[in-house]
Amino acid sequence: MTAVDAKITDFAVVQNVPEAASRYYLFYQCKVYADSELDLEYRVRISISPSLDGAETSKETGKMTHGTTLQVGFAAKPSDLGLTSDAEYTITDVYLDAKDPRTGAWVNLRSYSRSDTFKVEKKVTCGAATPHYSSGCELLKHYADDQCNMPSPSKAAAYDYHVYERITVAEWDFVRKAEGKDINTLCANCCTPAPKGRICDEHDIPTEAKAGTSIDIGVCVENTGKIKADFWVEVTISGPNDYSETLTSAKKSIDVGKKDKIYVTWDLPLNLQSGTYTIDATLYA
């Protein structure tokens, strides 16, 4: 008689997990080696001390071909535990079961005594200091754009967590909660958007002008941002014989979503040459 020789190896804690998590995070994994002769279904179970709601503790492999291996992972999505500091948890035992193909019952093959620890990191909040920032608000502002929007996904935060280890998993999860949103929806009054606008098409520019006169040039500006803002333009006029003149307008306040014209006055020199002149405008806010 030869015993079933399936086994588990490569036990490893993958990472900590965040309190009040927005999604499941892989925290533990191991590798199942199938029996050398039989094709069987396996189940891996883990015991966690103290118990942790929201953590997977049992995973089935499906039928494994004899002689093959499969990595099995366990994820957790802890709820709000009311932590005042990070809490430590330990995987104390790992069990390998196989399903008896004749009865369908699970049979324990092996048990492994372990002492593999991981942490549930205290949740990040808007006002309290985080491990790397003065507050959760400052953390969000670091990764949001100038309109207070968090990219989705936030690749910079993902790189800072997975590659550079500049933030913790709790900090990363807090950023992920804001992905695709204005961060003020998560942390009220956290971020003030920067003024944002564009030069639109409905300009007020004379098609003809006479040397020695003055004309008003109106540049169309649209406020495309989230706040009322002051805008001004710099208009450069260039033409024959290397003529160039730059004019700067006064500031003009424009409401969100509105268009308006900002004017400069061009005093045409008396000796200005005839020809075609080009007008270029640069917008500032």
The CATH superfamily label for domain 197-284 reads Immunoglobulins (2.60.40.10)
130 phi, psi to nearest 5 deg: -105, 175
Output the pTM of the full model: 0.83
Q: What is the secondary structure of 160-213 as a DSSP string?
A: HHHTS--S-HHHHHHHHHTTTSBGGGTSTT---PPP-EEE-S--B--S---TT-
Same CATH fold assignment for domains 7-121 and 197-284: yes
pLDDT in tens, 190-230: 999 999 999 999 999 999 999 999 999 999 999 999 999 99
Cα pseudo-dihedral 155, 160, 161, 162, rounded to 10: 80
pLDDT in tens, 231-259: 999 999 999 999 999 999 999 999 999 99
The domain 7-121 is classified under which CATH number: 3.30.30.60, 2.60.120.10, 2.60.40.3590, 2.120.10.80? 2.60.40.3590
Q: Percent of the chain beyond pLDDT 70? A: 100
- Mean pLDDT confidence for 159-176: 97
**What are the sequence ranges of the domains in the chain?**
7-121, 136-185, 197-284
What pLDDT score was predicted for residue 2? 79
Q: What is the secondary structure of 5-30 as a DSSP string?
A: --EEEEEEE---EETT-SS-EEEEEE
* 3-state class (DSSP) for residue 134: coil
Q: 23-59 as b/e, with b when 16 or more CB fall inside 10 Å?
A: eebebbbbebbbbeeeebbbbbbbebeeebebbbbeb
Q: What share of the chain is helix, strand, coil (3-state, %, to 5)?
A: 10, 45, 45
* 3-state class (DSSP) for residue 140: helix
Split at pLDDT 50, 70, 90, the class of 3 is confident
pLDDT in tens, 22-63: 999 999 999 999 999 999 999 999 999 999 999 999 999 999
